[in-house]
Amino acid sequence: MNKILVLYLLTHLLYLSSFPLMVLHSDPKFSVMGIQTNIPVIAKQVRYGISNYYLTDNRPDLYCKIPALTTVSPLGNVDVTEGVYMIVHVPTGKLLDAGQASATTNGMQPVIHEGKMMQDNKVEIYQRWKVNRVGGISGGYTIENLQSGKVLESDYLCMNENGCKVTVRDRLALFVPDRRNQEWYIERIGKGLEFRIRNVLKAEQVLDPGAASANGTKVGTNKRRAIASQQWRFVKVN
């Protein structure tokens, strides 16, 4: 009986040692871009070929990039579902940000900006976005700012050119002839955790702040291409 028990324990230990994912425990001293967070942080992910992640511990001089927080399970290849997210620009590690004024103003242009922290260890509410599935033939999602309730909208008159303007506006009513410029496909790029955010009405327009990386860089749409500036990650915050 003891031999059987020892054999079982050895087998179990071998299984655990071969598991492809290591997750650090939650700790309120962990930080993201200098921001305190208690979100568990990925230490290593082999299965999906994820690399370039920075580890963090309770030392204030260490940090990890937000993109490392996109999954804490082997189910990292599951598509984005409805919920509230930080939307992270992959090349810069900065967040899609509607700005405080978006609470009252239609036509504000979203930007990329470093995460700003509230007392509840979450980023500011205008840096959080609610992803809602749209019914009907086209499908897709609306991407709604959590502070203002306004949704991302691509300029209706700018079809498939580069440099089309994106704003946040009230969701158009059902009786409006075509409101698909406020709807987006969230498309996985390859087998990784990066996504392309493509406008439903304008087949080739995708969310893209271009090559700039400064805080406050405005986000518009450009033609779909295989470039890093069009890559985003979705980090769930609820």
Q: Looking at residue 230, which CATH number applies to its domain?
A: 2.80.10.50
Check residue 42 and report its DSSP letter. E
Q: Given a cut of 70, is residue 227 above it in pLDDT?
A: yes
Q: 68 and 87 share a domain?
A: no
Q: 45 and 98 share a domain?
A: no
Q: 123 and 233 share a domain?
A: yes
Q: 67 and 85 share a domain?
A: no
Which residue in 32, 25, 120 sits closest to 72, CA to CA? 25
Q: 100 and 39 share a domain?
A: no
pLDDT band at 44 (very low <50, low <70, confident <90, very high): very low
pLDDT for position 139 = 84
Q: 62 and 109 share a domain?
A: no
Q: 115 and 35 share a domain?
A: no
pLDDT for position 206 = 96
Q: 151 and 65 share a domain?
A: no
pLDDT band at 161 (very low <50, low <70, confident <90, very high): confident
Of 154 and 72, the one with more pLDDT: 154
Maximum average pLDDT range among 56-60, 188-192, 215-219: 215-219
Q: 129 and 165 share a domain?
A: yes
Domain finish residue from 78, 104, 135: 78
Q: 205 and 104 share a domain?
A: yes
Number of domains present in the structure of the chain: 2
Domain finish residue from 53, 78, 103: 78
Q: 74 and 86 share a domain?
A: no
Beta-carbon contacts of residue 134 (< 8 Å; ≥ 6 apart): 140, 141, 142, 183, 200
At residue 10, the 3 state secondary structure works out as helix
**Cα distance between residue 116 and residue 97, in whole Å:** 10
pLDDT for position 2 = 56
Domain housing 42 = 1-78
Exposure string over 136-154, b if 16+ CB within 10 A, otherwise e: eeeebbbbbbbbbebbbbb
Domain finish residue from 44, 78, 112: 78
pTM of the complete model: 0.69
Q: 99 and 45 share a domain?
A: no
